[in-house]
Amino acid sequence: MKKVLFVATVVKTHINVFHIPFLKLFKDKGYETYVCARNDFVNKNECIIPYCDYYHDIPFSRQPFHLDNIKAYYRLKKVIEDNHFDIIHCHTPVGGAITRLIKKNMPDLNAKLIYTAHGFHFFKGAKLTNWIIYYPIEKWLAQYTDILITINQEDYERAKSFKCGELRLVNGIGIKFPEYGLSNAEIEEKREQLSLEKKDIVLVSVGELIQRKNHALVIKALGQLKKPHIKYLICGNGRLEKKLTELIEKNGLRKQVYLLGFRNDINAICQVSDIFLFPSLQEGLPVALMEAMANKMPVIATDIRGNHDLIQNNEGGILISPNSTEDMKNAILYLTANSHLWPKMGEKNFQAVQNYALDKIVKEMQEIYFGNNT
């Protein structure tokens, strides 16, 4: 029986979020499926990976020079040595680097090795340290990569100078479109659950409460606006929850900005909101933004890699500087005052995101995995 191995830093917030449809694809093709990643579930017993036959808990650390990555190297190498994989698909900077380092040290390894870069850590506007650490590593390891997949135009252009076997540009990992829209009664009920009034204009963001997601930019902008009828919902959890709560209090926004935590009802929340905000400092090709587009939402997003691959400025929304509170404030003022633009922008985004539909991406990956033998 043929075998495939998926490698990533973590299970819950990577493998289970992005790769289940592709594990299913291999199961449907009769492959034995293996996953190597760190168990990042709080309750370790909850670690269940659909369509995975064999799971190995590998102690990857996101910090590239952490000692745990030495252990991870040897444990992953043992799994690869003990199995004759036909395909190895690795993801995330650390998971991808360690897997390809193993290939370098196993010259007889016959598996087709695929690496998906979900957004290089070196990019226009990145810190110098990111370029010093990650750029030479990625360029060097490309020679041990049979197929390098990039998911945005900037990374694709950058990787053209890398000496990989084959370079591909794929439209992300695919998104599912909402199966149905909420009725007016359901919208009313949902808004009530979220303590929203009819007169409120509702802004929403989806993303972890971490520095990279830059939620503080919006909070500061709203603090300057002083428009109590504008409400802001943030879906996600993370280590900055306490700091963001303090920032909300400091700006007098306790009745305007709500930290909703991790949510399983993102589509419903998008459908009861008016404008989607995506203030990130760094992205590869953001799924949260694509899901908002699939819900026909107008968008205010930062003008960075990934975001500007998806949003056409002044057509699907407004692109702003990631470091300008003034830009964010003005964009919110403009869009909240011009609600007649929302349907047109939402429709523009809905049409633009069709090329990122999951079924299209699965079909494209099928060709990458199996060639014409699909």
pLDDT in tens, 68-82: 999 999 999 999 999
Q: How confident is the model over 93-117, as pLDDT tens digits?
A: 999 999 999 999 999 999 999 999 9
Burial (CB < 10 A; 0-12, 13-18, 19+), residue 45, is exposed
Amino acid at 102: I
Rg (CA), the chain: 22
**Which pLDDT does position 321 carry in this prediction?**
96
Instruction: Note whether residue 345 is domain-resident.
Output: yes
**Which pLDDT does position 363 carry in this prediction?**
96
Domain residues for the domain of 115 are: 3-174+357-370
The tally of domains found in the chain comes to 2
Residues above pLDDT 70, as percent of the chain? 99
Helix, coil or strand: residue 272? coil
Q: How far apart are CA 94 and CA 373, in angstroms?
A: 31
Instruction: Note whether residue 179 is domain-resident.
Output: no
Q: How far apart are CA 2 and CA 78, in angstroms?
A: 18
Distances (CA, A) of 101 to 73, 82, 114, 333: 8, 17, 13, 50
Is there a single domain that holds both residue 11 and residue 139? yes
Q: How far apart are CA 67 and CA 58, in angstroms?
A: 13
- The pTM assigned to this predicted structure is 0.90
Helices within the chain (DSSP H only): 16-18, 20-28, 68-82, 93-105, 128-141, 153-159, 184-193, 215-225, 241-250, 266-271, 287-294, 307-310, 325-337, 342-352, 358-370
Is there a single domain that holds both residue 251 and residue 115? no
Q: What are phi and psi of 100, to 5 degrees?
A: -75, -30
Is there a single domain that holds both residue 246 and residue 305? yes
Q: How many residues does the chain have?
A: 374
Is there a single domain that holds both residue 28 and residue 161? yes
**Strands, sheet with 201-206, edge to edge from the N-terminal-most edge strand:** 257-261, 230-235, 201-206, 275-278, 299-302, 317-320
Residues of the chain with pLDDT under 70: 373-374
Q: How confident is the model over 120-139, as pLDDT tens digits?
A: 999 988 899 999 999 999 99
Is there a single domain that holds both residue 277 and residue 348? yes
